[in-house]
């Protein structure tokens, strides 16, 4: 079962700063309070509430539409292992 705002990677360009989590495309009924992500200080930061990783990029990958476009904000990459597979 997938949790609301599951840990994902969101690519952000300088034009989209300042960025906050949850993003405008997130479902607000099951979200956490809005927090601004400090990408001005480091190229990558994690939301303390949901674990979403925000990465500052110069150009978006094909799988990452612009934040706030209504077509989704996360890349297809999921961060962390979150699964139940065991490691040897």
**Residue 23 within a domain:** yes
Q: Please check whether residue 3 is in contact with residue 73, taking contact to mean a CB–CB distance below 8 angstroms.
A: no
The whole domain housing 18 covers 7-56
**Residue 69 within a domain:** no
**Residue 22 within a domain:** yes
Number of domains present in the structure of the chain: 1
Q: State both tokens at 8.
A: 């994902």
Bridge partners, residue 10, by sequence: 54, 74
pTM of the model: 0.62
Cis ω for the linkage preceding 22 (within 30 of 0): yes
**Residue 80 within a domain:** no
Q: Please check whether residue 32 is in contact with residue 44, taking contact to mean a CB–CB distance below 8 angstroms.
A: no
Angle, CA 44 vertex, CA 76 and CA 53 arms, to 5°: 40
**Residue 70 within a domain:** no
Q: What is the structure's pLDDT at 3?
A: 53
Span 8-62, pLDDT tens digits: 899 999 999 999 999 888 877 778 999 999 998 899 999 999 999 999 999 887 6
């Amino acid at each position: 079962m997938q949790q609301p705002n599951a840990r994902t990677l969101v690519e952000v360009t300088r034009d989209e700063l300042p960025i906050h989590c949850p993003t405008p495309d997130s479902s607000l009924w099951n979200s956490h309070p809005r927090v601004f992500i400090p990408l001005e200080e480091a190229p990558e930061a994690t939301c303390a509430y949901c674990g979403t990783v925000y990465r500052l990029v110069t150009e978006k990958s094909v799988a990452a539409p612009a934040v706030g476009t209504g077509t989704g904000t996360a890349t297809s990459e999921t961060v962390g292992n979150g699964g139940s597979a065991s490691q040897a």
